[in-house]
Structures are given as structure tokens and as C-alpha cells.
Structure 1
């Protein structure tokens, strides 16, 4: 981190944040972002959601190990110290890196999972969020895609619509992020980028985090999804919303129209 510290004093503002991110390996950058989201007054819950809902088991284990090594603290302890309730339980479940990452789909179990989620939410007064947690944080992607289909059939609603109806705040955000990442991770990041730039002002922390973290992973896919979803290129959006060296470096990461 010594070089990063040196650069901190040489560069300024958002441009510095991008350069610092590019100097770090992916799990080091994620750990750094999580640390910044947690330390100090208040918590940037969006950062916790963006990272923990979208990373693989191996990536989460690497982030946790680096966090301990760099900051001398346990990531789970810090997350628990800064969050509460069901939101905390979902984040801790994601941090255990215990998701099934196989591709087998058990039809009977998928139907049962869909039924249990429906009965835990839309079919009752109040919501049993634990049922959502046990399915959404543990099952593999193929299985969950089948659960979502079955849920639509049983409830007449898309799972995302039900989450919005049944939950609010950070808990709603993290469950929606999990569902969206399972369905189409590049589309999830495209939506996050769009929301960071649309309207007045820019949420630079989100824009920087996603552009740096995904530049060498799935930026081409994110750009394709962005164009499909919003009818404009990500490049043109960044160009119209940023300026100076900050704009130049983000456009480099974007990789052209």
C-alpha cells in the first residue's frame, strides 16, 4: 500500500481514486473499498451490497483474507459492528462463502423453494425473511433461475416485484442485488452505473468502484447490456457526466464506444 499512499498526496479527487484502484489487485481493491465503506461515521451500505452480492465464493474468501492481513481486523466482525438485523444476517451469510456453485438443478426442490418463499412473503401478513435468505444466499444459479420461474407461476408476480413489496431499505437492496446478479450480472452493473450518473450530480463512489473493479472482467458485457437497457452507450454517458483527467481515465477503462 506504500505506493498508493505516495500517490494519494500527488493526485487529487476522483482521478486519484481511480488511479489508486487500478494499482491494486482485484481482491485488495474490494477489501479497500469495504474498509472505506465501514470505517468512520455511517456506513456506505451500497458498497457492501455491490461487492458481497456479486462476488464468487473464492473471491469472497480472498477479500476476507486480505482484509485481515491489511487492516488487522476480521471483515465479518467489522460488518457485524456496523450493520444490524436481517440485513446483517444476509451479509454474514454471503461472507461465509457457502453458496453452492455447481450447476445441478433439483426440480422438486426448486418447486418447494418457490412455494416456501411465496408462503413466507406474499401469502402471509408480514414477511419471514429467513426463508428468503436460506434460498437466495445458498442455492446455485441454475437452481435459482428455476425457482424464479416457478415463483412467477405460483404468485403471478416476478420475484423482484415481490421483494420490493415485502421489504424496504438495505434488506430490499441486498435481496434485489442477489436476484439481479443471478439473472444477469453485467445487467446488474449496467443498472448501477446508469443510476450513478442519471439526473443531477453523479455518485462517483459507485461509478469509480464498478469501472475499476469490472474493467478487466466483464466490461464488454456491461457495455452491451447498458446499450440494450438504455439505448445509449456507456461511453457517451460517462463523457457527458464527467470532465478532465477523471473523464479521460474512465473512458479508457470503458474502452471506446
Structure 2
């Protein structure tokens, strides 16, 4: 309990916000802070900021489990949160996410991905990545990277017609995230451009488009997240859930690096963009504070 209050006090520097936290603390009266924030009829601060606070106070793997579950909640599956989990988390962390998901929701994350409707190429690639995480590879091999890079070229831009899905899925299911990153780096060294660029070839269809997004998340995550944040704030269809998701998940990891890329690409500070894009003052202040955390 005290650790939770410490996290909030260290994070949020505004005197006005601190006073509101003191109101929350008094209302909590020694109880479970996270459970209190989940109560839908509690209105001192409003449900939006309560949702953000309760999500932030979860352990990282529990937070990711909730994020994964939310991807299935609105009818049409939002695959980006799932991509970010399977591409951006260590295998040991993915295992904890799956356990938390099963404990919280009485379902299996990978089975929910398999059962998602309508069928999507994202499903096939994500299940391949899930298989890779289960094998817990640790070492990387330059020889394997060269072989896989040549196979990817031979089954993609190096041949006419659509990309061969079976070859891609085999590589993704058998290689660790670190090995895949080395393969994409080797691909660029051999062929002079990113593998993601080769996937723009006409005829690759939905599978090629899905694969390109996943490769960007794997190989150039800072650019990927900066683009997601910009689209969530400035895009034609603003997606505030994507803003919350990325800021929450990357705050302790590489948020300052993402912010630097954001400024370089879009010519403005990330915190200024958040201030422009979020109308709720309390949520805005909290997200700006998260986005300002220095990576450890």
C-alpha cells in the first residue's frame, strides 16, 4: 500500500494533483487502493483517471494481461496491443502475462488469439511468435541470420508473386526475438534496405501488410511507437486508447528515447502533443508525467 502511494507521489509533481491523491488516500482508509479505484460508483476523481491509476499500479505482467484482454473487447480485434506484447517482451515476461491472463479472466490468451473472428494474418504470425517464446532461445547466430535473411529474400522480393507465408511462419516460430532482429539487420546489410520496405511489394496482400507492421515493431520499435503515438493524437481518427497503452507500457523502458524520435519526426515535444490531444486535465497531467519518466 505504502509502495503504491510512493510510486504516485514520485510520479506526479503537481500540487493540485497531490491534494486530490490525498483525498483518495483518506477515502481508501487503509484498504486496497487498486480495488477502490476499480469501483465504478466512486467519483472523487472521475472514472477516467481512476482507470489510469488502477492500471498503473498493477504489476507489469498484470498490466499487460489487462491490455491484452482489452484488445478483444470491442467486437473487432485490435491486434496492435498483442503485437507489442509478443514483440516487445521477454519470453519470461510473456509467460507471466499468460499466467496472469488465465488467473484474471479464466481463459488462455493464445487460444483467444486462435479463436478470434474474422480470421486474420495477424493471428498466424502472432501464434508463430508465441511458439518462439515457448522455446526460450538465448544465443544468437550470425550464420543462421544470414541463412534466414536469404530465405526471406528468396520467398519475398526475390521472386515473382506473393510472399510465401509458410517460410515466414516457420522462421518466426523457430527463432527468438533477438535472432529475428539480427536477421533483419543482416537483411539490410546484404540487400541495402530494411526487410519491412521489401514488404511493400504489390501482391503481398493482407499477410504482407500485417508482417510489415510486426517487423517494424520488432526491428525499429522506437519509430514504431513514435508513429503510433502521433497517429493516436494527430491522426484523422484519434485513438486515445493507443496513447494510454504505449505511454503506460513504455514509461519505464524507453519512453524518453521514443520522445526524442517523436520530436525528430514530427517537430514537437511529445508532452506538448499530449497536452493538445487530451482534454481531461487530470488524465493529461498523469500521462505527461509518465511520458517524462527517464528510462532506467
Please state which band the TM-score falls in when normalised by the shorter chain: 0.7 to 0.9
Instruction: Map Cα deviations across residues 111-155 of structure 1 (whole Å, 9 max, x no partner).
Output: 221221122222132221122223245434554344335434665
Deviation of the 1:55 alpha carbon: 1.6
Instruction: Map Cα deviations across residues 218-251 of structure 1 (whole Å, 9 max, x no partner).
Output: 2222222222333321111111211221211111
Structure 1 length as normaliser, TM-score? 0.84
CA distance in 2, matches of 1:111, 1:192: 31
CA distance in 2, matches of 1:159, 1:210: 24
Equivalent of residue 283 in structure 2, options 228, 239, 246 = 246
Deviation of the 1:187 alpha carbon: 3.0
Aligned to 1:188, what secondary structure does the other structure show?
A: helix
Over the residues paired in the alignment, what is the CA RMSD in angstroms? 2.8
Unmatched 5+ residue regions in structure 1? none
Q: How many residues align?
A: 255
Bigger drift between 129-138 and 144-153 goes to 144-153
Deviation of the 1:90 alpha carbon: 1.5
Equivalent of residue 162 in structure 2, options 105, 123, 126 = 126
Equivalent of residue 3 in structure 1, options 36, 47, 53 = 36
CA distance in 2, matches of 1:217, 1:203: 22
Structure 2 length as normaliser, TM-score? 0.74
Deviation of the 1:38 alpha carbon: 1.3
Unmatched 5+ residue regions in structure 2? 1-33
Corresponding residue for 1:221?
257
CA distance in 2, matches of 1:3, 1:235: 29
Where do 1:102-141 residues align within 5 Å?
Answer: 102-107=138-143, 109-122=144-157, 123-140=159-176
Where do 1:58-137 residues align within 5 Å?
Answer: 58-83=92-117, 84=119, 86-96=121-131, 97-98=133-134, 101-107=137-143, 109-122=144-157, 123-137=159-173
Q: Which runs of 4+ in 1 moved over 6 A?
A: none
Deviation of the 1:168 alpha carbon: 4.3
Deviation of the 1:18 alpha carbon: 1.9
Whether contact under 8 Å (2:86, 2:126) holds in the other structure is yes
Bigger drift between 88-97 and 144-153 goes to 144-153
Larger RCO, structure (CA 8 Å, separation 6 or more): 1
CA distance in 1, matches of 2:89, 2:244: 17
User: Who wins on radius of gyration, i.e. which is larger?
Assistant: 2
Q: Is the counterpart of residue 255 in structure 1 residue 292 in structure 2?
A: yes
